[in-house]
Structure 1
Amino acid sequence: MKQKYERPTIRKMNTGFMNKFGTRTDFDPVSEIDGISVKSLVKQYGSPVFVLSEKRIRKNYQAAVRSFKTRYPKVQFAWSYKTNYLNAVCKIFHQEGSWAEVVSGFEYHKALGNGVAGNQIIFNGPDKKEADLVLAIENHSLIHIDHFDELYQIIRICEQINKKAKVAVRVNFDTGVYPIWDRFGFNYENGHVWTAINKIVTSGNLELVGLHCHIGTFMLSTSAYSVAATKLCDLAMRCKNELQTAIQYLDLGGGFPSTNTLKGAYLPGVDTVPSVEEFAEAITNTILNFSFSTDELPLLILESGRVLIDDAGYLIGSVLANKRLSDGRRATIVDFGINILFTSNWYDHKISVAKEAGQYTEETVLFGPLCMNIDVVRESINLPLLESGDHLIVHKVGAYNMTQWMQFINMRPSVVLIDQKGQSHQIRTPETLEYLEMMELLPDHLK
């Protein structure tokens, strides 16, 4: 019997990005994190739940320090509080020898509360309140000046309290990466930074101890750091020769990327992101090859954040439902949205299933549970067929999600730390309605 003719169709197949090793897929099940099963973590702490690996945090930090200290004699890391300021996380970095880098009075007080000595706190940011500046001056903290108004304010405060402030200037410049980050600090090319330096040196009650830059976030160019280091070294040498002021440290800021994949990237982050060692090579070679004598080499400070913690963070969630969209695509709704996975706005996070699944996969849109059309965790990902209650693991979420998250429709979940012995600890409890309403006040006429 002659079979019925069916017209051939062409269907787009998303089999994963290609690299030099072949095709990459993200479907290998992840049933445990640091020896603890995903199922037991959900049972104990609920879903969704953030999980942090203490072992991975410490390994990342130790490897980064080693990358720089094997190339340069004087190195100090300062943990970027804005990246993840949960006290348990900060304590780990401080135990490893990291100073604190903060960008607000709130973070400054957290650092003090975590036992960081005042002279080991770097105070950055454009919005430092007067009371916080007074405290920082009295604690001998390193204040990085962002603009002229702040410079004049610090001079006035020092006169009023009869104290001397240890300061640095934040510098912005053209490193060949565009757009230029010129919103923060004083510009190198137009001479504003040299004007600021002169005002500091001649003020009488400010001590210029350092030069600071932060050239951008998620930087993929190691050569940009070479340019930045060269310009900071040039300023340091001018301070010595023209103002007889020795610069004690150069702070190259942060910006080193994790291996997350940026949205729209042609290749995955693991194939394109330079290693910390490559950044270390570019920065330290530049400083060592400058005209400093051995005894006048400045301390090198790094304020790295995401590269030290991103891959130590996981988000476990659960499937709520599946449906078909009008164009035929499969849609899966999960119990975590962009309100707690803020970085899904710019990353295509790797997402794994927590159980063995069949070989069949399908292009899927991954939606969060919020009543907002923009609540899209992944616009397109190939996943095996999932059922309600199945668990998913989002990888490399340790940076910024636990500081930029927000309560919206759903409350913020637990955060769990797995220690080096494989024991889990709740380091932030899930929000409750009582907690949410603590700050509310009801006028008498509405009671």
Structure 2
Amino acid sequence: MKYEKPTINRVDFAIASKYGSPLKTQKIRSEIDGVNVRELIKDFGSPLFVFSERAIEDKYLEFKEAFSSRYPEVEFWWSYKTNYLDAICKIYHKLGSKAEVVSEFEYQKARRNGIEGKNIIFNGPYKPKDALRVAVKEGAKIHIDHLYEINDLEDIAEELGVNIPVAIRCNMDTGIYPQWSRFGFNIDNGEAYEAVKRIYKGKKLYLTGLHAHIGTFMLSASAYANEVRKLMQLRKKLEEDFGYEIEYIDIGGGFASKNRLKGVYQPPEVIVPSADEYAEAITNAIYEFNDKKLPKLYLETGRALIDEAGYLLTSVFADKRFPDGKKGYIVDAGVNLLYTAFWYNFDIALDKRYEGLNEPSMINGPLCMNIDVIAENIMLPPLERGSVLSIWPVGAYNYTQSMQFIRYRPRVVLIDKNSTPHLIREADDLEYVVEKEIVPDYLK
């Protein structure tokens, strides 16, 4: 047994509840979809991203049923920026989702995954002209973000001798603050209407859709109802004034997952709307308009579909005692892999039950940076070197925003529905990191 100098710490929140004393309670996650976490670490190394195909499919079907049972024409467009690993994207495409991208890089990714241009929505404020030209030629759905893009598309239309179908991105006040007003054209001040008038007068583009994305991790279903009402009102006015037939409204994404926002003290089970609650608010708002021809409803859902399917396994490397008496653990996964650690209090579980009482602890990553904190205040029992922690949910944005910084990025594993793990991305190494570097001759 390792000797450790006794310390006395005041635990202000050690109040017994129906779950027992926090001094004794331990959260255990010894397996993921029937695969032992220690075996995963043994076979693939630590740290390790793990994705559950079963969880991906279950969540997708939950949202699909919630919307399609309430509305006749619903299409899902997988948000590539949320997680663009090929294996993950292919699961969503296999389930029937098309592709939504916000860069030429993601566009190329979707094409590489076998998605035709006509099944790609091209969003984003920065679309280089060459990328737009490719998207036009391949029939992608282009959502215009600003007036310069109208000019670029008109140039391409003239160059190719075609009229180009387009949608515009809109922003608006939906009762949620701060507003996402950086992208697209504002509906409330008439900017969106004027943008469409500009398109109409140019006679080289024609409007087929309206799009908005009102925010991220949205905890208000009613905000989506407000968004839909404003899109439907604009749709009606544009069709009356310009004779356009607007085929679809794209309400974007932003639905919340069961993650825990810092500063929010109610559990996700209480504050996060269900798929049914989101769907009910959105579809009822469309039906309010009693249109003879309903628009298609597009969803760019990302976070809510993938977040809970993702785990990060990490191993304890060392422990120490801080001057204030708090216990500190150093693990091999840092904020270079968990970008969202700055916003969320993750669900962190142990691989087995450990002897001893819990005490206030901090989990730090391996980076030589003071900000490398995975959990600032968590009750943990005494852990040994090699103890495995599973961090959840981390499926959204963490891998796509992870970086090689101080430590290499680790392997990624997908567990299929038969509980078989598959390596879907190899770890970075020195050769990968320096492949694109060039040393001038005078420094060789």
| Bin of the TM-score, shorter chain as denominator length | over 0.9
Match of 1:85 in 2: 84
After TM superposition, give the deviation of residue 383 of structure 1 in Å. Answer: 1.3
Is 1:331 matched with 2:345?
no
Secondary structure of 1:208's aligned partner: strand
Gaps of 5+ in 2: 1-7
Match of 1:5 in 2: none
Match of 1:396 in 2: 393
Is 1:349 matched with 2:349?
no
- C-alpha contact 2:27 2:348 (8 A) present in aligned 1: no
What amino acid is the match of 2:227?
A: A
Distance in 2 (alpha carbons) for counterparts of 1:126 and 1:361:
49
After TM superposition, give the deviation of residue 228 of structure 1 in Å. Answer: 0.3
Match of 2:406 in 1: 409
After TM superposition, give the deviation of residue 151 of structure 1 in Å. Answer: 1.2
After TM superposition, give the deviation of residue 272 of structure 1 in Å. Answer: 1.3
Secondary structure of 1:209's aligned partner: strand
Match of 1:148 in 2: 147
After TM superposition, give the deviation of residue 359 of structure 1 in Å. Answer: 5.7
Distance 1:273 1:17, change over 3 A: farther
Distance in 1 (alpha carbons) for counterparts of 2:295 and 2:308:
31
Distance 1:17 1:309, change over 3 A: farther
1:154-188 residue CA offsets vs partner (Å, 9 max, x unmatched)? 11111112122221010000001111110000001
Structure 1 vs Structure 2: percent identity of aligned residues? 49
- C-alpha contact 1:348 1:378 (8 A) present in aligned 2: yes
- C-alpha contact 1:14 1:363 (8 A) present in aligned 2: no
Distance 1:61 1:15, change over 3 A: farther
1:35-67 residue CA offsets vs partner (Å, 9 max, x unmatched)? 111111101110000000011101111110110
Match of 1:217 in 2: 216
Distance in 2 (alpha carbons) for counterparts of 1:346 and 1:165:
41
What amino acid is the match of 1:310?
A: D
Is 1:301 matched with 2:298?
yes
After TM superposition, give the deviation of residue 288 of structure 1 in Å. Answer: 1.2
* Matches for 1:47-66 after TM superposition, within 5 Å: 47-66=46-65
Secondary structure of 1:381's aligned partner: strand
Distance in 1 (alpha carbons) for counterparts of 2:290 and 2:244:
16
Secondary structure of 1:47's aligned partner: coil
Match of 1:316 in 2: 313
The answer to which of 148-157 and 407-416 deviates more is 148-157
**TM-score normalised by L of structure 2:** 0.95
- C-alpha contact 2:132 2:153 (8 A) present in aligned 1: yes
After TM superposition, give the deviation of residue 271 of structure 1 in Å. Answer: 2.2
Match of 1:383 in 2: 380
Distance 1:15 1:288, change over 3 A: farther
What amino acid is the match of 2:115?
A: V
What amino acid is the match of 2:416?
A: D
* Matches for 1:12-411 after TM superposition, within 5 Å: 12-15=11-14, 27-293=26-292, 296-358=293-355, 360-411=357-408
Distance in 1 (alpha carbons) for counterparts of 2:130 and 2:114:
20
Match of 1:440 in 2: 437
What amino acid is the match of 1:341?
A: L
- C-alpha contact 2:60 2:305 (8 A) present in aligned 1: yes
Secondary structure of 1:122's aligned partner: strand
Distance 1:428 1:10, change over 3 A: closer
Distance in 2 (alpha carbons) for counterparts of 1:327 and 1:104:
47
1:342-371 residue CA offsets vs partner (Å, 9 max, x unmatched)? 111100000000011236111111110100
Match of 1:431 in 2: 428
Distance in 2 (alpha carbons) for counterparts of 1:382 and 1:224:
36
Distance 1:45 1:22, change over 3 A: closer
- C-alpha contact 2:318 2:330 (8 A) present in aligned 1: yes
What amino acid is the match of 2:317?
A: L
What amino acid is the match of 1:37?
A: N
After TM superposition, give the deviation of residue 17 of structure 1 in Å. Answer: 11
What amino acid is the match of 2:58?
A: K
- C-alpha contact 1:14 1:382 (8 A) present in aligned 2: no
What amino acid is the match of 2:323?
A: S
Secondary structure of 1:101's aligned partner: strand
What amino acid is the match of 2:125?
A: P
Distance in 2 (alpha carbons) for counterparts of 1:307 and 1:319:
30
**TM-score normalised by L of structure 1:** 0.95
Gaps of 5+ in 1: 1-8
After TM superposition, give the deviation of residue 205 of structure 1 in Å. Answer: 2.0
What amino acid is the match of 2:440?
A: P
Distance in 2 (alpha carbons) for counterparts of 1:291 and 1:17:
54
After TM superposition, give the deviation of residue 23 of structure 1 in Å. Answer: 7.3
1:74-104 residue CA offsets vs partner (Å, 9 max, x unmatched)? 1000000000000000000000110100000
Distance in 1 (alpha carbons) for counterparts of 2:106 and 2:380:
40
What amino acid is the match of 1:439?
A: K
Distance in 2 (alpha carbons) for counterparts of 1:110 and 1:172:
27
What amino acid is the match of 1:154?
A: L
After TM superposition, give the deviation of residue 15 of structure 1 in Å. Answer: 4.8
Match of 2:4 in 1: none
- C-alpha contact 1:138 1:163 (8 A) present in aligned 2: no
1:290-341 residue CA offsets vs partner (Å, 9 max, x unmatched)? 1311xx1000000000100000000001001111111111111111000001
- C-alpha contact 1:64 1:277 (8 A) present in aligned 2: yes
- C-alpha contact 2:206 2:244 (8 A) present in aligned 1: no
The answer to which of 234-243 and 390-399 deviates more is 234-243
Secondary structure of 1:100's aligned partner: strand
What amino acid is the match of 1:94?
A: H
After TM superposition, give the deviation of residue 207 of structure 1 in Å. Answer: 2.2
Distance in 2 (alpha carbons) for counterparts of 1:71 and 1:405:
37
